[in-house]
Amino acid sequence: MRSVLAVLALAMAASAARLPKSQNMPRFVDDGDPAFCQRPFEIIIKLSPFLLQALFPSPCHIRHSRYIIDPCDRGVLYAADDPKFEFYDWVFPEEKWCDMIRAFLQLSDRFRRQHDFTLALPALVYFIKQDQESLLSRSRSANMMAIDPEYPDPKEPKWKEFRLAFNELAVRHGGIPHINKTRDGASSHFAQTEDQESIRQFLAIRQQLDPKGLFLNDYFKTMFANYL
């Protein structure tokens, strides 16, 4: 624990040089109290804004948007029962991704004009290398690239409308939804967009290992309804 605090102290020293004189930095003194080393998370959480400020001195401003990515927000703790945040993750074959991102931007613009709905957060984009080892791999057939829009309020009706429209667009461009993060899309489209032989192999193994359906909940019953 003391070595961790030593690293943090160096980061704090670097951060202190950038802080206004009016901004106070918390101080922690190891006075021999055993409790000092028994509350590492409390200490790290309090120090995290200063550590992040040392590593990332300036928040990132998104062009053409009022949204700001502030690394210090990573030190904020959110209540487990109040996440108010949702991903909607689809992946597309690498050679189709450019056409899909154009269609996605057109969809976003249409919802902004016709429904007064704007995605408040940047969409995530990442690459998945072809992987034929897992039966449920979303990249069995090719390298894939994701388009993963996010929204801070899952209960917003216009966000649900956007998700359903995104589903239709994604299927037309050969997309595959994330089996867990993209619940509306996955329950309706995951099994149909995945490799069909792999789906059958997976469900045969599942039946062998779980003959009584203990782990086959309603969500997966809906997802694999045409195969059970």
In angstroms, the CA 87 to CA 154 distance is 9
> Which domain CATH number covers 194?
3.30.70.2520
In angstroms, the CA 151 to CA 29 distance is 41
Query: Are the C-beta atoms of 125 and 147 separated by less than 8 Å?
Result: yes
Q: Are residues 217 and 123 in the same domain?
A: yes
Q: What percent of the chain has pLDDT over 70?
A: 63
pLDDT at 63: 58
Q: What are phi and psi of 210, to 5 degrees?
A: -135, 65
Q: Are residues 92 and 62 in the same domain?
A: no
* Residue where a domain stops, chosen among 75, 103, 125: 75
pLDDT tens figures, 111-167 = 999 999 999 888 999 999 999 999 999 999 999 999 999 998 888 999 999 999 999
In angstroms, the CA 93 to CA 74 distance is 32
Give the total number of structural domains in the chain.
2
Q: Are residues 151 and 206 in the same domain?
A: yes
Q: What DSSP character marks residue 87?
A: E
Structural domain of residue 38, as residue ranges?
2-75
205 in a structural domain:
yes
- Full-prediction pTM beyond 0.85? no
Please name the residue that has the structure tokens 């050679």.
95
Q: Are residues 54 and 95 in the same domain?
A: no
CA nearest 224: which of 210, 196, 211?
A: 196
Q: Are residues 128 and 185 in the same domain?
A: yes
Residues of the chain where predicted confidence (pLDDT) is lower than 70: 1-83
Q: Are residues 40 and 100 in the same domain?
A: no
Query: Are the C-beta atoms of 146 and 125 separated by less than 8 Å?
Result: yes
pLDDT at 110: 96
Pairing label, strands 90-93, 176-177:
antiparallel
Q: 28, exposed or middle or buried, with CB in 10 Å at 0-12, 13-18, 19+?
A: middle
Q: Are residues 93 and 195 in the same domain?
A: yes
pLDDT at 153: 87
* Residue where a domain stops, chosen among 44, 75, 106: 75
Query: Could you give the C-alpha distances from 49 to 3, 73, 118, 157, in angstroms and in order?
Result: 19, 8, 29, 34
